[in-house]
Amino acid sequence: MTDLVLSLLPLVLGIVMSPLAIMALVAVLVSRRARVNGVMFFVGWTAGVFIGLGASFALLGLLQVHERQEPPLWVPLLRLLLGVLLLLGAVWIYRRGRAHRLAMAQASTPGEVTAAAPQLPGWLKSVESFTPGRSLALGAGIFLLNPVDLSCAVLAALDVRLAGLDTVPSVVVLVVFGAIGVLPIGIPVLLVLVKGEEAAPTLTRIRTWIAGNTSVLNAALVLVIAVLQLQKAISALLAY
């Protein structure tokens, strides 16, 4: 169980530290109908996390990964594929953050500073007009369509299956994993429900801090996850 917890720790941190999800949530929470849209975004994000975990766990169960003495060849190949994907994701996250920091350093006027500052993706700029339904879809989609977050869910389900636990303990582990993954989304929503419009300055500061400071840390974390998966994949492939 200790080995399982250690293997899941970087994966859940990879979900918890998803900067795009936090920035998207903050954009929802400072828009019109912030309370209802924020709650729907949270519901969508929670559904996305547990759909990703549950579907991966169920599919791996159908493939009977845990019932074999040695995992089949496609298991290390899957780790290899996801490891490469995460490695590319780490490079992209770092280079994107570095480009923003260089632009900020070279800016000489207030206008250039504003233009260089990290901004939300263009498709999020219409969040002001989002309906509760679109906020729900945004919350789910931003997890399920994010290859880094979804890869973490798939790898978590794979590690739980390979741990050889009974069904109930496995489900409990995944539920705890998912609950931790939704916490950073739930806390800002709760803040808005309690404080209303007074929470707007705090949320803006959170978004600004995340946009300007998490790229290196997030890239490093994704890199660690990628290296761990590549190491496991290569070791397993060499054993064949």
* Residue that wins the pLDDT comparison between 229 and 239: 229
* Residue that wins the pLDDT comparison between 230 and 112: 230
Domain that holds residue 149: 2-239
pLDDT of the residue at 156: 93
Rounded Cα gap, residues 208 and 23, in angstroms: 9
Going by pLDDT thresholds of 50, 70 and 90, the confidence category of residue 110 is: very low
Residue 240's CB is within 10 A of a number of other CB atoms, namely 7
Going by pLDDT thresholds of 50, 70 and 90, the confidence category of residue 72 is: confident
Rounded Cα gap, residues 2 and 6, in angstroms: 6
Looking at every residue in the chain, the average pLDDT score rounds to 79
pTM (predicted TM-score): 0.77
User: pLDDT tens-digit profile of 134-178?
Assistant: 889 989 998 998 888 898 999 999 999 888 888 899 999 999 999
Q: How many domains does the chain have?
A: 1
User: pLDDT tens-digit profile of 134-143?
Assistant: 889 989 998 9
